[in-house]
Amino acid sequence: MDGDELIASVFRKIEREKALITAASNMRQSTDNPLVQQRVDANIRDGRKNIAYLEEKMRELQIRQMNQEGGSPGQHGGPAPPPKDHPGYAGEQGDGHYPQGGTGSMPSGAPFSDPRPYAPIPKARPNYTKLDLIKYDTPYLGPKIQLMLSQLEFKLSVEMQYKAGIEKMVRLYQDEGDRKSRADAEGRRIESNQKIQLLKQALKRYEDLHVDIESADAPDDESLSSPNMRKPLTGLLTMRIHAVKDVDHAASSRFSRGPETYIVVKVEDTIKARTKATRNDKWLDESFSMDIDKANEIELTVYDKSGDRPVPIGMLWVRISDIAEEMRRKKIETELNASGWVSADKMGEGGSARHDHGGSPMGSSHGPSPGGRPGTSGHGAHAHHGGESTNAPPTVTIDSWFALEPVGRVQLQMSFAKQLKDRRPFDIGLNRQGAVRQKKEEVHEKQGHKFVTQQFYNIMRCALCGEFLKYAAGMQCADCKYTCHRKCYPKVVTKCISKANYETDPDEEKINHRIPHRFEGFSNISANWCCHCGYLLPFGRKNAKRCSECSLTCHAHCTHLVPDFCGMTMEAANQILETLIRTKHHNKSASVSSGLSNRTLRAGGPPQPAQDNAALSYPQKPMEGPYGVIPRQPSAEAVSAATNSFMTPQSPTAAAQAAQRQQIPPKSPTGPAAAAAAAAATGLRSPQQAPTEMGRPMLPPQAAPQPQHAPYDPSLYANFPQQPPPQAMQKVQPSPYPMAPPSQAMQQQMPQQQQVAPPIKDDAAVQAKTRIGLDHFNFLAVLGKGNFGKVMLAETKSSRKLYAIKVLKKEFIIENDEVESTKSEKRVFLIANKERHPFLLNLHACFQTETRVYFVMEYISGGDLMLHIQRGQFGLKRAQFYAAEVCLALKYFHENGVIYRDLKLDNILLTLDGHIKIADYGLCKENMWYGGTTSTFCGTPEFMGPEILLDKKYGRAVDWWAFGVLIYQMLLQQSPFRGEDEDEIYDAILADEPLYPIHMPRDSVSILQKLLTREPELRLGSGPTDAQEVMSHAFFRNINWDDIYHKRVPPPFIPTISSPTDTSNFDQEFTSVTPVLTPVQSVLSQAMQEEFRGFSYTADFA
């Protein structure tokens, strides 16, 4: 519909509502029946509410039409982004290529936020819950209409299936002659028919109100599409039913007293409670306590009993997770109403916010009010209620009128107490939290799909057979998100889109049915599911596509994943393909058997190896490229790291063959080969050679240019595509070797590698002398424990130098499929070692025993920032200082293609000279340049970005979200997103707006607002210039970045220790443990040990 048609349609809806109001008013004047008058008044009230909503939509449509006819870009979007060299974009450069300081506030939007010339200015997020939408007096009528259209459409489809099943039962009992069972089934069929009529009536009511425009106040409900959200809950539900009102009672005889009304409460289709019958629509004492066990939804049905059978007159569905979310919000509101904290958009109204000026005292803070206890360990800014913080929190209940469908309302009082294993006090302040990582499931490969078992917490539809998966486990491809039943995944024979064309078998059977779908945008106002990923489609036109020929529906981002089988169901296509494959296999086996019967074996003839066996054997031809040539002067660390990072483990036979081949003299100069090996030691890729989304190099190594590169220039990425086009991905030719990309390390080592190399045996002798092992150390104390091992303080027996050694059990690494993660951690250490970055923890050596691997790291004895913030609140200057050093560490990681993903106070160590060191690289991800994405669910709950929780692909902007949470914690001594368990924290991240003290400086609020932006493309630091956006913000206006990098700025705090081995800055829970290695009973096989080949390493500076 174009604009004029839409406006005319809305006008007709308004006129219809006015006519209904007029008719209702006339009826009210013509009757004296109080029940009829009450019902008419409710109709008039609803009609006026509908008219107000429709008139608002009319104004929105008229404004939109005016802008389209004569608008300019300035009327539609925000200010244009400043040029790259604009002073508001980045500060002046210092000696070390760091700006001297920010010169003003950043623009209101991210510089590269939205390339569209008419991009709308993002509006403030509406602050309502799903429970708010089903309340009778909700002001959010637009989102409610969209929610109810989806819910009613789904409930109607389920009820229709239920009715069809009952009708089959009626016929079955009729054939068997079972009158009692037939009468019971007939009663259920009648009730099902009545419910269907109610659902159709309610659906028509919302369809009549729906206006087909994309509204800013009704964003897609992405939380329903996330496998990590909306989990079934277990706990105690308490409910009190007070009254119903404005319902359409069932018709009764003229002389009867009226129908008796009662309510039935069901949890997952099981009756849990039933009220007494009443004739005045009120109940005095109807309270119920229900034990909930992994349930999703409560259903309330209002019945009238006027004849032999009860008649349903109203229905309500409430998700238990929405009750829990509403209670969590009420707890926060109750606590913060007394504190005077407000959201960022309300700070300007009070006018009390001020700028951060350089003259503010070192100890200034904007955390607790003077009545608080900022120095008390474990107490955040909410501890300022005096003695109230020690009292039990008041009981939170939900008491409101909820809308019944199709008409009426019910007054309920509810509360839900979740059953939690690890409940943490709501107002405990800051404390330690471990990181979580999505457990790697068993992968079932089928036609390139990598199917893993996935538990779904909403209604899904199988992409193969089209049947529903209702709150059940299914199979989902880890690459393309194809979703189906467990029983269906073996039948899938259409290949995964992530499988490139050259990877497919040329003899693979294909259907000649190549009719592409004609996907067009459509307005989704009913329950439709994506034919690929199986999720429910969101409302509106923004993300829904439908084929104009076969009416197949899918997400806009799934259209390129749907096979060209228009007019044919996926199940039929897969059956045809199965038949073709089975027939071909039968013919092939028949021809092989006939060929064997006609063949005679000739003695003494040379054996002919089978083609299949040849394909599985090791290559006999010497490998070409960098790894087939002996470098003349690689360092020991280069050889070790290159072997570990890029070469696959060889069997003893293959290793012997490789040793024989290495005796052949090289035919080409070894300079470039040695450089490649040195680059492989760091495991880096340059931005110019960023890998494709599939992780394959864009060029074969033979075509790689000589390493003549300029230093890192973020402006080169301004036109970098966010995703490589599918055509480009499919044309990539496979390279037989991993490409060693050029880096700064190659530039530095090239002159050395041109020199004459000593004999290889001398290198081996030197390496043997410096090989580090377990017998070189004495363990003194335990500093911490993690998932797979622990960190211990150790000293060398010879020099008495202190080191922190991270000890990981090989058995646990293999069991949890963390071998590659452990190797990646080592490669990230090598990146940190490359320039000895001042704010990154350095690695001195790696070694292994039969049962464990060891990382020998520098020992930082000042403790971590979590310990220090629990001892006392940081002032503004101290928080600014630590934030600046962390920012430079993240900048270095991102410049080297690494995202950190586990930034938190626990992982930031404090040196004895007062500077920070970031530690623990276990969750780092390599090859993440600008535009690169990954999708692993990992991180520490309070620091995880919304895009991770929504199971979206994400990039390095997640580090800047965590950076915002970190600054918030350092400034206010509490987390911006809190909850009693992980699920509540996740809900807070997705729904809550961070709150700030009313007197907090404006620049501090501004940087937190821009870093804690839920849309990653609008977040500060998300552009191609990355950290430069953050460094140029006004919060860092007084920071000289060159001085920060070279440690010329005096630290605001110096930790103290009594002796070099003093561990008082570490948790006594760990330091009190005896530092011994517990014996490991299991014995690893040779194949398991091969997984750790090449792990050992010794740094040049060790």
Q: Cβ contacts of residue 820 below 8 Å, gap of 6+?
A: none
Spatial neighbors of 638 by CB under 8 A, at least 6 apart, are 631, 674, 677, 678, 680, 681
Q: Following DSSP, what letter does each residue of 856-890 receive, concatenated?
A: EEE--TT-BHHHHHHHS---HHHHHHHHHHHHHHH
806 annotated ligand-binding residue: yes
Burial of 185 (0-12, 13-18, 19+ CB in 10 A): buried
- CA–CA gap between residue 431 and residue 329 (Å, rounded): 21
- What CA–CA distance (Å, rounded) separates 786 from 767? 31
Beta strand 449-455 with 287-295 is unpaired
Burial of 482 (0-12, 13-18, 19+ CB in 10 A): buried
**CA–CA gap between residue 280 and residue 260 (Å, rounded):** 8
**Type and span of the H or E element at 899:** none
Enter the tokens of residue 8.
């005319």
What does DSSP assign to residue 450? E
Give the Cα separation of 900 and 921 in Å (integer). 7
Q: Two tokens at 1041?
A: 């970045």
409 touches 403 (CB < 8 A) = yes
Q: Are 899 and 927 in contact (CB under 8 A)?
A: no
Active site residue 902: yes
Selected catalytic residue, list 114, 281, 322, 902: 902
What is the H or E stretch that residue 543 is in? none
Instruction: Check: CB of residue 1033 under 8 Å from CB of residue 88.
Output: no
Give the separation between CA 600 and CA 429, rounded to whole angstroms: 83
Q: To which H or E segment does residue 301 belong?
A: strand 297-305
Q: How far apart are CA 884 and CA 967, in angstroms?
A: 10
User: Is residue 684 within 8 Å of residue 896, measured between CB atoms?
Assistant: yes
Whose tokens are 């054939």? That residue is 175
- The burial class, CB within 10 Å (0-12 / 13-18 / 19+), for 1052 is middle
Would you call 584 helix, strand, or coil by DSSP?
Answer: helix
Q: Where are the beta strands (DSSP E) in 797-867?
A: 802-809, 843-848, 852-858
Asked if 1035 contacts 1006 with a C-beta cutoff of 8 angstroms, the reply is: yes
Pairing relation of β-strands 459-461 and 468-470?
Answer: antiparallel
Burial 316-351 (b: 16+ CB within 10 A, else e): bbbbbbbbbbbbbbebbeebeeebebbbbeebeeee
Name 243's bridge partners: 282, 411
Rg (CA), the chain: 34
Q: How many CB atoms lie within 10 A of CB 398?
A: 19
CA distance 37 to 42: 9
Binding-site residue set for ATP? 806
Residues acting as catalytic residues: 902
Binding-site residue set? 806
